Amino acid sequence: MKKPVPARRCFVRPCAMWKIGNWSKCSENCGGGIKIRDVHCMDTRDKRPLRPFHCQMLGAKPITSFRCNVKACSEWNLSAWSECSKTCGVGIQERSVYCSEHKQCNLKAQPQTTIPCNIQPCTEWITGTWSKCSASCGGGSKHRMVKCVNMETNKTEEDSSICELEPPPSAVQMCNLQKCTSNKDNICIKDRMSEKFCLTLKKLGRCSMVAIKIQCCQTCQKFNVTVRRKGIARGSSRGANSDS
Protein backbone atom coordinates (compact mmCIF):
# COMPACT_ATOMS: atom_id res chain seq x y z
CA MET A 1 0.00 0.00 0.00
CA LYS A 2 1.07 3.53 -0.60
CA LYS A 3 2.53 5.12 2.45
CA PRO A 4 0.29 7.85 3.84
CA VAL A 5 1.56 11.49 3.69
CA PRO A 6 3.21 12.26 7.01
CA ALA A 7 2.62 16.08 6.83
CA ARG A 8 0.70 18.72 4.92
CA ARG A 9 0.68 22.50 4.70
CA CYS A 10 -1.86 24.42 6.71
CA PHE A 11 -2.77 28.08 7.19
CA VAL A 12 -1.32 28.95 3.80
CA ARG A 13 -2.66 32.51 4.24
CA PRO A 14 0.28 34.88 4.97
CA CYS A 15 0.67 36.31 8.42
CA ALA A 16 -0.40 39.91 7.97
CA MET A 17 -0.68 43.02 10.13
CA TRP A 18 -1.51 46.68 9.73
CA LYS A 19 1.64 48.79 9.66
CA ILE A 20 0.76 52.26 10.92
CA GLY A 21 2.95 55.34 10.36
CA ASN A 22 3.23 58.50 12.47
CA TRP A 23 0.76 61.37 12.21
CA SER A 24 1.92 64.33 10.12
CA LYS A 25 1.89 67.90 11.35
CA CYS A 26 -1.48 69.64 11.07
CA SER A 27 -1.87 71.32 7.71
CA GLU A 28 -3.22 74.52 9.32
CA ASN A 29 -2.38 76.19 12.59
CA CYS A 30 -5.99 77.39 13.01
CA GLY A 31 -9.35 77.39 11.24
CA GLY A 32 -9.37 73.62 10.68
CA GLY A 33 -6.58 71.54 9.19
CA ILE A 34 -5.87 67.84 8.56
CA LYS A 35 -3.40 65.34 9.97
CA ILE A 36 -2.57 62.27 7.87
CA ARG A 37 -0.62 59.01 8.32
CA ASP A 38 0.29 55.98 6.24
CA VAL A 39 -1.46 52.62 6.93
CA HIS A 40 -0.34 49.53 5.00
CA CYS A 41 -1.03 45.79 5.19
CA MET A 42 2.32 43.99 5.62
CA ASP A 43 3.58 40.39 5.70
CA THR A 44 5.10 39.98 9.15
CA ARG A 45 7.52 37.29 8.04
CA ASP A 46 8.72 38.56 4.66
CA LYS A 47 8.21 42.28 5.50
CA ARG A 48 6.55 42.85 2.17
CA PRO A 49 3.34 44.78 1.47
CA LEU A 50 0.16 42.81 0.97
CA ARG A 51 -3.20 43.58 -0.47
CA PRO A 52 -5.56 45.10 2.14
CA PHE A 53 -7.94 42.11 2.14
CA HIS A 54 -5.18 40.00 3.79
CA CYS A 55 -5.53 42.23 6.87
CA GLN A 56 -9.35 42.26 6.97
CA MET A 57 -9.42 39.51 9.59
CA LEU A 58 -7.57 41.91 11.90
CA GLY A 59 -10.43 44.38 11.78
CA ALA A 60 -11.20 47.58 9.90
CA LYS A 61 -8.34 49.56 8.45
CA PRO A 62 -7.17 52.25 10.93
CA ILE A 63 -8.05 55.84 9.99
CA THR A 64 -5.51 57.69 7.84
CA SER A 65 -6.62 61.30 8.51
CA PHE A 66 -8.52 63.52 10.94
CA ARG A 67 -9.27 67.23 11.42
CA CYS A 68 -7.10 69.32 13.72
CA ASN A 69 -6.69 72.92 14.95
CA VAL A 70 -10.37 73.63 14.38
CA LYS A 71 -10.39 76.85 16.42
CA ALA A 72 -11.17 79.94 14.30
CA CYS A 73 -8.20 82.10 13.28
CA SER A 74 -7.60 85.52 14.83
CA GLU A 75 -7.08 88.65 12.73
CA TRP A 76 -3.60 89.96 11.91
CA ASN A 77 -2.72 93.36 13.42
CA LEU A 78 -1.04 95.79 10.99
CA SER A 79 0.83 99.04 11.56
CA ALA A 80 1.04 101.89 9.01
CA TRP A 81 3.61 101.68 6.21
CA SER A 82 6.89 103.49 6.82
CA GLU A 83 8.24 106.12 4.42
CA CYS A 84 10.06 104.79 1.39
CA SER A 85 13.75 104.20 2.05
CA LYS A 86 14.69 105.87 -1.28
CA THR A 87 13.18 108.63 -3.40
CA CYS A 88 13.95 106.70 -6.60
CA GLY A 89 15.74 103.62 -7.88
CA VAL A 90 13.60 101.09 -5.91
CA GLY A 91 13.26 101.61 -2.17
CA ILE A 92 11.50 99.61 0.56
CA GLN A 93 8.49 100.35 2.76
CA GLU A 94 8.06 98.37 5.97
CA ARG A 95 5.30 97.74 8.51
CA SER A 96 4.76 95.63 11.61
CA VAL A 97 2.55 92.52 11.27
CA TYR A 98 1.71 90.58 14.44
CA CYS A 99 -0.89 88.21 15.86
CA SER A 100 -2.54 89.15 19.16
CA GLU A 101 -2.99 85.45 20.07
CA HIS A 102 0.08 83.24 19.77
CA LYS A 103 -0.14 80.96 16.71
CA GLN A 104 -3.85 81.69 16.28
CA CYS A 105 -3.56 83.66 13.00
CA ASN A 106 -3.49 82.00 9.60
CA LEU A 107 0.22 81.78 8.76
CA LYS A 108 -0.52 81.11 5.08
CA ALA A 109 -2.47 84.37 4.85
CA GLN A 110 0.05 86.52 6.73
CA PRO A 111 0.17 90.02 5.13
CA GLN A 112 3.42 91.35 3.64
CA THR A 113 5.79 93.18 5.95
CA THR A 114 7.75 94.88 3.12
CA ILE A 115 6.90 96.19 -0.34
CA PRO A 116 8.99 97.93 -3.05
CA CYS A 117 8.41 101.64 -3.61
CA ASN A 118 9.64 104.47 -5.86
CA ILE A 119 10.64 101.92 -8.46
CA GLN A 120 11.25 104.53 -11.17
CA PRO A 121 14.95 105.11 -12.06
CA CYS A 122 16.82 108.07 -10.60
CA THR A 123 16.82 110.42 -13.58
CA GLU A 124 17.50 114.09 -14.28
CA TRP A 125 17.21 116.47 -17.21
CA ILE A 126 20.64 117.48 -18.54
CA THR A 127 21.01 120.48 -20.88
CA GLY A 128 23.78 121.58 -23.25
CA THR A 129 24.86 125.08 -24.27
CA TRP A 130 22.72 127.29 -26.47
CA SER A 131 23.57 127.44 -30.18
CA LYS A 132 24.12 130.72 -32.04
CA CYS A 133 20.93 132.61 -32.92
CA SER A 134 19.67 131.73 -36.40
CA ALA A 135 19.02 135.42 -37.26
CA SER A 136 20.64 138.72 -36.30
CA CYS A 137 17.29 140.54 -36.18
CA GLY A 138 13.61 140.09 -36.88
CA GLY A 139 13.23 137.05 -34.61
CA GLY A 140 15.46 133.99 -34.79
CA SER A 141 15.84 130.88 -32.66
CA LYS A 142 18.58 129.09 -30.81
CA HIS A 143 18.72 125.47 -29.75
CA ARG A 144 20.31 123.31 -27.09
CA MET A 145 20.54 119.61 -26.28
CA VAL A 146 18.08 118.32 -23.64
CA LYS A 147 18.31 114.66 -22.58
CA CYS A 148 17.08 112.40 -19.79
CA VAL A 149 20.00 110.83 -17.90
CA ASN A 150 19.97 107.97 -15.37
CA MET A 151 22.04 109.35 -12.48
CA GLU A 152 22.96 105.86 -11.20
CA THR A 153 24.29 104.50 -14.49
CA ASN A 154 25.12 107.90 -16.03
CA LYS A 155 23.50 106.73 -19.27
CA THR A 156 20.90 108.46 -21.43
CA GLU A 157 17.44 106.95 -21.10
CA GLU A 158 15.83 106.24 -24.46
CA ASP A 159 12.37 106.60 -22.93
CA SER A 160 12.42 110.23 -21.78
CA SER A 161 8.93 109.87 -20.24
CA ILE A 162 10.54 108.55 -17.04
CA CYS A 163 12.03 112.02 -16.54
CA GLU A 164 8.66 113.72 -16.84
CA LEU A 165 8.03 113.81 -13.10
CA GLU A 166 9.47 117.29 -13.68
CA PRO A 167 8.74 119.34 -16.83
CA PRO A 168 11.59 119.21 -19.36
CA PRO A 169 13.70 122.35 -19.88
CA SER A 170 13.12 124.28 -23.10
CA ALA A 171 15.22 123.07 -26.03
CA VAL A 172 14.35 126.07 -28.27
CA GLN A 173 14.36 129.77 -27.45
CA MET A 174 13.51 132.84 -29.51
CA CYS A 175 16.25 135.44 -29.89
CA ASN A 176 17.10 138.78 -31.60
CA LEU A 177 13.48 139.86 -31.69
CA GLN A 178 14.27 143.50 -32.57
CA LYS A 179 12.99 144.82 -35.91
CA CYS A 180 15.46 144.71 -38.77
CA THR A 181 16.39 148.14 -40.24
CA SER A 182 17.22 148.38 -43.94
CA ASN A 183 19.34 150.93 -45.81
CA LYS A 184 16.15 152.18 -47.43
CA ASP A 185 15.13 153.67 -44.08
CA ASN A 186 18.16 155.97 -44.30
CA ILE A 187 17.51 157.21 -47.88
CA CYS A 188 16.84 160.93 -47.87
CA ILE A 189 13.75 161.94 -49.86
CA LYS A 190 13.07 165.44 -48.46
CA ASP A 191 13.62 167.57 -45.41
CA ARG A 192 11.35 166.86 -42.49
CA MET A 193 11.46 170.50 -41.42
CA SER A 194 10.96 173.69 -43.44
CA GLU A 195 13.59 174.53 -46.02
CA LYS A 196 14.15 177.99 -44.50
CA PHE A 197 14.76 176.55 -41.06
CA CYS A 198 17.08 173.87 -42.45
CA LEU A 199 19.08 176.54 -44.37
CA THR A 200 19.49 178.47 -41.13
CA LEU A 201 20.78 175.36 -39.37
CA LYS A 202 23.07 174.69 -42.31
CA LYS A 203 24.60 178.18 -42.06
CA LEU A 204 25.14 177.62 -38.36
CA GLY A 205 27.13 174.46 -39.19
CA ARG A 206 24.70 172.11 -37.51
CA CYS A 207 24.57 169.59 -40.36
CA SER A 208 27.34 167.64 -38.64
CA MET A 209 24.88 166.71 -35.91
CA VAL A 210 23.12 163.35 -36.52
CA ALA A 211 19.66 164.57 -35.52
CA ILE A 212 19.91 167.67 -37.79
CA LYS A 213 21.31 165.57 -40.63
CA ILE A 214 18.21 163.35 -40.43
CA GLN A 215 15.66 166.19 -40.11
CA CYS A 216 17.29 168.30 -42.85
CA CYS A 217 18.84 165.58 -44.96
CA GLN A 218 18.07 167.21 -48.32
CA THR A 219 19.51 170.60 -47.37
CA CYS A 220 22.54 169.11 -45.64
CA GLN A 221 23.34 166.91 -48.66
CA LYS A 222 23.21 169.95 -50.95
CA PHE A 223 25.42 171.79 -48.55
CA ASN A 224 28.00 169.00 -48.60
CA VAL A 225 27.96 168.86 -52.38
CA THR A 226 28.35 172.65 -52.65
CA VAL A 227 31.23 172.74 -50.21
CA ARG A 228 32.89 169.79 -51.99
CA ARG A 229 32.57 171.54 -55.35
CA LYS A 230 33.94 174.84 -54.00
CA GLY A 231 36.89 173.00 -52.55
CA ILE A 232 37.59 171.40 -55.91
CA ALA A 233 37.33 174.79 -57.71
CA ARG A 234 39.70 176.42 -55.29
CA GLY A 235 42.20 173.64 -55.67
CA SER A 236 42.09 173.88 -59.45
CA SER A 237 42.60 177.68 -59.45
CA ARG A 238 45.60 177.34 -57.23
CA GLY A 239 47.02 174.78 -59.57
CA ALA A 240 46.52 177.15 -62.50
CA ASN A 241 48.30 179.98 -60.68
CA SER A 242 51.21 177.78 -59.83
CA ASP A 243 51.48 176.67 -63.42
CA SER A 244 51.55 180.28 -64.57
Terminal Cα distance for the chain, rounded: 198
CATH number at residue 35: 2.20.100
In a domain, 8, yes or no: no
Question: How far is it, in rounded angstroms, from Cα 107 to Cα 228?
Answer: 112
pLDDT tens track for 126-147: 999 999 988 888 788 899 999 9
Handedness of CA 203, 206, 210, 216 (dihedral sign): negative
> pLDDT tens digit string along 25-40?
999 999 999 999 999 9
- Same domain as 159, residue 203: no
Q: Is residue 52 part of a domain?
A: yes
- Is 97 a member of any domain? yes
Could you tell me if residue 217 is inside a domain?
A: yes
Mean pLDDT confidence for 199-207: 86
The letter for the amino acid at 164 is E
Structure letter (DSSP) for residue 74: B
The answer to whether residue 2 is domain-embedded is no
Domain assignment present for residue 113? The answer is yes
Total domain count, the chain: 4
Q: Pick the closest to residue 174 from 129, 137, 127 (CA basis).
A: 137
Q: Given CA atoms 89, 90, 96, 102 in this order, what sign does their dihedral have?
A: negative
In a domain, 23, yes or no: yes
pLDDT band, residue 151 (cuts 50/70/90): confident
pLDDT value of position 183:
54
Identify the domain boundary among 68, 86, 103. Answer: 68
Element (H, E) at 235: helix 217-243
Q: What is the mean pLDDT of the chain?
A: 83
In a domain, 1, yes or no: no
Are residues 85 and 57 both part of a single domain?
no
What pLDDT does 153 receive?
Answer: 84
Q: Encode pLDDT of 99-109 as tens digits.
A: 988 888 998 89
Question: Which residue range forms the structural domain that includes residue 189?
Answer: 183-232
Residue 184: pLDDT band by 50, 70, 90 thresholds?
low
